[in-house]
Amino acid sequence: MSPGPARSTGRRRDPSGPPRRPQGQRPPVSDPARQVALDVLTAVRQDGAYANLVLPRLLREAKLSGRDAGLATELAYGTCRSLGQLDAITGAAGNRPLGELDGIVQDALRLGAYQLLKTRIPPHAAVSATVDLVRASEKPGGAGYVNAVLRRVSEADLATWVDRLAPDADEDPLGHLSLATAHPLWITSALADALGATALDGGEESELARALAADEGAPPVHLVVRPGVLERDELAAMSGGEPTRFSRYGVVLSSGDPGGIPAVADGRAGVQDEGSQLVAAALAAAPLDGPDVRWLDLAAGPGGKAALLGGLAAQRGARLDAVEPAAHRAKLVRQATAGLPVDVHVADGRDPGLAGGYDRVLLDAPCTGLGALRRRPEARWRRQQGDVAPLVTLQRELLASAARLVRPGGVVGYVTCSPHLAETAGVVDRAPDTLELLDARPLLPGVPELGPGPTVQLWPHRHGTDAMFLALFRRR
């Protein structure tokens, strides 16, 4: 076995490594894009920050735009998505446990390994630029170790590292896919359960492999019109986008900043995944006997579905009550629904203090978010299997509240952005006896591969949407 990389001594050991700088002299930070990416990783690790929230602020502070901002975003998000995979590889390439390393060294190893294994950045540039960031940090002594480990990582490509470190694909297909696609094993297993008995058919070309691969990279940006205010074709022409495949309210952008589109800026349109549009529209389209004027969104924050339902309610002479327990998120709901017949209530959906008798109730329940891992780069490594049970309890309590608040003959749409069976079929199977399960599939016309029904499961690899789940009930 060859020796592991040397501990940092401040002395360069290999003439092909990055140029040595004078002892005691830190280089200026001349690579703001990589510095921003490294700062994002530090904020995620050290402060529990959300990468998609902290990155825009850091880009503004660094005054980055265009190509540099794109590089910083790619490195920050890509590294966050791959954290566990990169840790396994850099751990094997090094000779010290990850927990013994300074935080800046951990972050730099992840950032450097991502560049080496998942980008076209030349290896010498990936290594030297990353090492320079460490030399310019408060812990410059770690630069030698980072240099040595990254040089070892660069000796093989990602497929080779996976072959070396992952379990055998035939003996442990879930374990192999987990490392190969950078997902925790419990999430890989949950997706396999949701896809069913054929999930692993086809080996590396299996549906599970495609589902996991769909979490790689940024999802397309979907816009949604406010019904009755703006037509979809107008939004497409204005934004340069294309109509969405399934939603009659959506437009998909290939690139660009949605905040710069006039209709988004003035509230005639918003940003919303096509899957969210489909499930909200399905609830609004469910056939109903009797009055149809009182609608309820029982878990409304941050307000995307409430805004779409509010627009549809306005066209049909209905009014929507939107419930959100967190005051700051309720403020977002008010902003999203301004000008619409929507009343926002800061309350717990389990007992919101509202009079019952609603005709339509949407319950977009809090969940693990396993269906939207594309949008939350670090989420797959932050969520834990132990999070599922408390969320299921909350989901069942909220569904019981929805069952109390809807009138006899009224409809309830139970929605999660997770395909985890405990959060979908498990909750539906134990729904209150007063609720009758309906076939939701006809309410998503033209959408293929919705599953065996009567519930609906969307998937990124099948539909290009988040993995939204919809169960539709009628109160007996």
**Catalytically active residues, by annotation:** 417
Q: How far is CA 315 from CA 264, 306, 308, 312, in A?
A: 20, 14, 11, 5
The residues facing 364 across adjacent strands are 415
In angstroms, rounded to a whole number, what is the distance separating the alpha carbons of residues 232 and 249? 6
- 86 contacts: CB under 8 Å, gap ≥ 6: 79, 109, 110, 113, 114, 117, 182
- Find out whether 379 and 385 touch, Cβ atoms under 8 Å: no
Q: Which of 182, 204, 17, 2 is nearest to 89 (CA)?
A: 182
In angstroms, rounded to a whole number, what is the distance separating the alpha carbons of residues 191 and 438? 24
With tokens 């890989």, the residue in question is 188
With tokens 């090492």, the residue in question is 131
- Find out whether 393 and 387 touch, Cβ atoms under 8 Å: no
In angstroms, rounded to a whole number, what is the distance separating the alpha carbons of residues 197 and 195? 7
- Find out whether 450 and 456 touch, Cβ atoms under 8 Å: yes
What's the token pair of residue 97? 């446990």
